[in-house]
Structure 1
Amino acid sequence: MVFKPHVSSWGYAFFLTVNATSTWAGIFPFLPLEFQTVQVTLTFFLAQSLAFWGAFLASVFGSYFFPHGARRMLVSLSALMVFAGSACLIGAMYLAELTLVLVAGGGILLGVGCAGLFMLWQRYFASLPSEKGNLRLIVGTALAPFVYFALYLVPIALTAFLIPLVFVPLCGLCVALSVREMKIDQPMFEDVPRQHPKVYRQVMSDFWRSALCVGALAFASGVIRGIALLHQEVSTVVNVASMLGSLISAAVLLVLWYRSSFRFGLTAVFRVVYPLIITGFLLLPFLGAFYLNLFAALTYMVFSLVLMLMMMQCAQISRDRGINPVFIYAFFGSVVYLMQSLGFLLGWLSDSVSSMGSEWLFIVAMLSSYVLGLTLLAASGTLFKNLTGKAATQADPIEFLSLRREPVRGESVRGGQAQDGQSASSGSSSPCTGEKGFDPSQDDALSEKRLADGAKRRSDGAKRRADSAKRRADGTKRRNRPSPSDDFGTIRDRLSKRCFDLKDAFGLSSRETEVMELIARGHSVAAIADKLVISENTVRTHSKHIYTKLDIHSRQELLELLESLGG
């Protein structure tokens, strides 16, 4: 596969650059140091973080109670707010008597504007097929550091004006162009949450642990961010480390994705990085400034990776569960950025706190380790034991099917029929019914021999697809088969095993495989929706994708394909 940057990848890279320059007090990385006083920076941060978090929290309720309004989020409005926020910060440098007012106003505008653009990009990536959406997101994340570091080549006197006058309009233009290719006839966009609140309650029950894990890492990054306010040299390191982390994590993920198939969840990522982060905090009081810079860089590298994975996770939840992408991303964001703000306040306030003669870094290390430890207990299910089980096992992991896998070229049933002059849809049926819409009596020219030949061709096609599936499934088992989660992937009987063989052979997602197995077992649309806690419209969409990928038209053909696998 050729990694050719799409306009959406460039647009997302421009947005990440704008957001990175606003994260550390507007465009402060490129503004005079004498302007970056503690009072100005703190004022901006409190205004920006409150507005940023408030925008996500408001979007949770807004997308639930007013889903049509969430659908009409304007690109121009979000981009205009980011432009106005940057302009306020520039004005604050020249209007000394209004400095704090303009800084606070710029923080609010940038906070709401950046949150709006984040959710616009989330809606776009969620609307694409999983592989295409994730690839464009990763490529955009990898491009962002190059755009960001290119700003250092521009004289600092011009950079402050370059962000609002060039990068913000470019970002808005790319978003507008990208949104044009969105398919809004998907269940996630047509969904009316109040019609099935059980689905949304189940989603929050399944994924609050994942949101908490990302929030704990955001808390750690917020602590470092607060320390950076007190130490200018740390601030510089964190700015660079954040963008380098985006580049490294995107590059590594692309290489791994190209070479193998794998699947994991955000809680698993947290458990992997937890020993590194908590060890870093425990060593913080004992080592010097060099270690502080090193740990700050590591923390923000990890946080950059997790933010990218969070967007992928939320997009997959939207596709699999058929829920509003703004709702789930805003749910994650409201948890994550609240914890990051609390971490910032700890890092900033700890400089004036002492306990029994201890240095302030001991306070930071102790409280940060406490928060990380509680999060680990909650994520592993040992803190709230009565809540574990179903929720812990149904959190859908992020799936990556190897980019270098051979494309499936199954023999087309529709193609065989078209050669005989029949309509490609003549043998189709509605998913999960297995009833053919083809009536031989409607065409006297169709003889019994012709019908028998058609049946034989369909049978031969099914056998050829089955043989191809077996070969591909066997090869996949030997190389990098995605590791199943605690619940998904259990082989219960022969039918279950054959469904997983088809999953590996034809690139079905885990949720599509679950739906396929339930179809094969004779469940109705309503029964599948009730069992998986999703809407019936979402079940029909998954069924359509399954039938398209397998190149079949009915439940009966699905059963024939599964039976042909043998084993």
Structure 2
Amino acid sequence: MERGNGSAGGPITGSLLYRLLKPNAASLGYGLFLAINAASVWGGVFPFLPLEFQTRGIIFWFFLCQSLVFSLSYLASLLGSYFLPRATRSFLVQFTIAPYFLGWCCLIGAIYFDGWALRLVAAGGALLGLGSAGFYMLWQRLFASMASEEGDRNLIGGTVWGAVFYFALYLIPVAVTAFLIPLVFLPLFALAIVLESRDINRDQPMFEDVPREHPQVYRRVIGDYWRSALCVGALGFCTGIMRSLAVGNPSVGSLVNVLSMAATLVAALALLIAWRHQDLHMDVVGAYQAFFPFVITSFLLLPFLAPEYERWLAAVLYAVYSVFTVLMMIQCAQASRNRGINPVFIYGFFGCIVYMLHDVGFLGGTFAEGIRYAGIAPLAGIALAAVYLLGLMYFVGQGGFRRLFSRRAAEEPAGCSARSTGIELVALQPRAPKTRPGQAPPVYQDRMSKQAALVQRHYRLSARETEVMELIARGNTVARIAEDLVVSENTIRTHCRRLYAKLGIHKKQELLDLVGSFDPAELGEEG
């Protein structure tokens, strides 16, 4: 989809929405994967397996094994991408299909072999956790390798298609769906990854990167993004608690999948529309702070409202969590492109924190349901634990004690560091925001900064491309820019190639002339 045709910020029409959701192998394949994943590793039930099979013990052991292996797979990917980067350069789809397929076979087999049901379910949970984590890694690498606008649109659009496909599965008889998933749907979304990965430019720094050659880059990445990971992890903790309630209470688990997928559909459509408006900027920490009042209030009300409230809270929290995982994937892809780092590393870093906190919430909620301490009802104890962690993550998101006692941090906006780590929806700030009535005009450091902003707006440069362009225009060498931005020199050279291609130039002097003399008025545009 081409943006920048003058329609940005206009009304959403049916044709425009279709262009935003225009089907392609990447978005449809990812959507089908999400739908199938929701049928096996989502809430508190298996919607396409017989209800009489789904005892509390069966569901608990499945989700326990699945969750633990899922989060440990991210940790293994994080370590493996750093110490064995060659192993993460290829799209090894066949090794991901195998555990996912075998996991579904174990689930189906557990229905027919009562004596082995618990062991088959536990094995199925572990295999599906491993296969699901592997597929998420493959999709993350695919979206990160695309241009930012294309990758973000496919990711958000695929989330919308995932909810649509999930509800479409209900049109198929339940007895058939369980067999179609491993035999038909799994090969389809695996094929989508194989086909899309053929067009990937494997010369990008993210695929050639050897982390141990420049560990300072990776240390800086962790320092910049750990706060965002903890904020998403706080929501993961809360959804883990709601999953424990869904497993323990059939009235909650029976509708959590349907309600959460419906809410995800609405939230993803809203996110897609927001992504279209090119002056919208949002980062994970800022988004967490925006949702914080709602989430903390919802948990405070949990002990006082009827049981019906639990299923609605579970559904909405899962939807919010789904949107935050989309933002997390966008931010990870953004970091891979901007800094030239292995996408498996940054996604594994986020994932192991987020999903391990989810496991803590699940185990803590399960344990808390069976005890009463100091006269406090189990549900009230769960709510207090959730509120405490949410508040703690909010404090961390604001900068914690370091910000409190740091004069420098006191001068920065909440949730930001000296280098921007926020997700700028809309393909990394493709154009500078226009000044609205009553809004203060942008403040520029000097004429060079203003000229760079004008060039960025006209050519729809990303934030990092603009940063590199301005540093080049100020006379910095590639080595100095790499040192200043804490990335490899190869990454800066790649940004320069993309920058020159977008600007239609071939030499550094042409860039200097363009930035120094660029005047939108001569092109019939606003200044």
2:280 corresponds to 1:323: no
How far does the alpha carbon of each residue in 1:448-497 deviate from its partner, in whole angstroms, 9 at most, with x for none?
Answer: xxxxxxxxxxxxxxxxxxxxxxxx97xx52469x999xxxx862111111
Q: Matches of 2:167 and 2:434 in 1, distance apart?
A: 43
1:427 aligns with none
| Deviation at residue 553 of structure 1 after TM alignment | 2.0
Q: Matches of 2:319 and 2:162 in 1, distance apart?
A: 14
Q: Does the 8 A contact of 1:125 with 1:315 survive in 2?
A: yes
SS at match of 1:398: coil
| Deviation at residue 295 of structure 1 after TM alignment | 1.5
| Deviation at residue 309 of structure 1 after TM alignment | 1.0
SS at match of 1:23: coil
For the structure 1 residues 23 and 172, does the alpha-carbon distance in structure 2 shift closer, same or farther, using more than 3 Å as the test? same
For the structure 1 residues 339 and 395, does the alpha-carbon distance in structure 2 shift closer, same or farther, using more than 3 Å as the test? farther
SS at match of 1:165: helix
2:422 aligns with 397
| Deviation at residue 366 of structure 1 after TM alignment | 0.7
Q: Please, what TM-score do these two structures have when normalized by structure 2?
A: 0.89
2:28 aligns with 10
1:509-524 residue pairs with structure 2 within 5 A?
509-524=462-477
- CA radius of gyration, larger in: 1
1:338-487 residue pairs with structure 2 within 5 A?
338-385=356-403, 389=409, 392-401=417-426, 476-478=433-435
SS at match of 2:475: coil
Q: Matches of 2:223 and 2:482 in 1, distance apart?
A: 17
Q: Matches of 1:392 and 1:181 in 2, distance apart?
A: 35
- Among candidates 191, 208, 227, match of residue 245 of structure 2: 227
1:112 aligns with 130
Q: Does the 8 A contact of 2:206 with 2:342 survive in 1?
A: yes
For the structure 1 residues 151 and 401, does the alpha-carbon distance in structure 2 shift closer, same or farther, using more than 3 Å as the test? closer
Q: Does the 8 A contact of 2:336 with 2:346 survive in 1?
A: yes
Q: Does the 8 A contact of 2:206 with 2:336 survive in 1?
A: yes
Q: Which moved more, 1:288-297 or 1:534-543?
A: 288-297
2:501 aligns with 548
Q: Matches of 1:82 and 1:244 in 2, distance apart?
A: 25
Q: Matches of 2:212 and 2:338 in 1, distance apart?
A: 19
Q: Which moved more, 1:269-278 or 1:138-147?
A: 138-147
SS at match of 1:263: coil
1:335 aligns with 353
| Deviation at residue 27 of structure 1 after TM alignment | 7.7
- Among candidates 317, 321, 342, match of residue 299 of structure 1: 317
For the structure 1 residues 237 and 313, does the alpha-carbon distance in structure 2 shift closer, same or farther, using more than 3 Å as the test? same
1:565 aligns with 518
2:508 corresponds to 1:508: no
Q: Matches of 1:402 and 1:127 in 2, distance apart?
A: 13
1:426 aligns with none
Q: Does the 8 A contact of 1:496 with 1:517 survive in 2?
A: yes
Q: Please, what TM-score do these two structures have when normalized by structure 1?
A: 0.83
1:188 aligns with 206
| Deviation at residue 284 of structure 1 after TM alignment | 0.7
1:11-410 residue pairs with structure 2 within 5 A?
11-24=29-42, 28-385=46-403, 389=409, 392-401=417-426
SS at match of 1:392: coil
Q: Does the 8 A contact of 1:381 with 1:392 survive in 2?
A: no
Q: Does the 8 A contact of 2:302 with 2:383 survive in 1?
A: yes
Q: Matches of 1:520 and 1:273 in 2, distance apart?
A: 40
Q: Which moved more, 1:66-75 or 1:309-318?
A: 66-75
For the structure 1 residues 11 and 62, does the alpha-carbon distance in structure 2 shift closer, same or farther, using more than 3 Å as the test? same
Q: Does the 8 A contact of 1:27 with 1:160 survive in 2?
A: no
SS at match of 1:30: coil
Q: Matches of 1:478 and 1:384 in 2, distance apart?
A: 34
Q: Does the 8 A contact of 1:223 with 1:347 survive in 2?
A: yes
Higher relative contact order (CA 8 A, sep 6+): 2
Q: Which consecutive residues of structure 1, in runs of 5 or more, have no partner in the other structure?
A: 406-471
For the structure 1 residues 401 and 307, does the alpha-carbon distance in structure 2 shift closer, same or farther, using more than 3 Å as the test? closer
| Deviation at residue 249 of structure 1 after TM alignment | 2.1
Q: Does the 8 A contact of 1:188 with 1:325 survive in 2?
A: yes
For the structure 1 residues 402 and 342, does the alpha-carbon distance in structure 2 shift closer, same or farther, using more than 3 Å as the test? closer
Identity among equivalent positions (%) equals: 49
Q: Matches of 2:220 and 2:443 in 1, distance apart?
A: 22
SS at match of 2:314: helix
For the structure 1 residues 313 and 25, does the alpha-carbon distance in structure 2 shift closer, same or farther, using more than 3 Å as the test? closer
2:13 aligns with none
Q: Aligned Cα RMSD in Å?
A: 2.3
Residue identity matched to 1:14: L
Q: Matches of 1:359 and 1:27 in 2, distance apart?
A: 25
2:485 corresponds to 1:532: yes
Q: Matches of 1:111 and 1:137 in 2, distance apart?
A: 21
Q: Does the 8 A contact of 1:216 with 1:372 survive in 2?
A: yes
Q: Matches of 2:227 and 2:275 in 1, distance apart?
A: 25
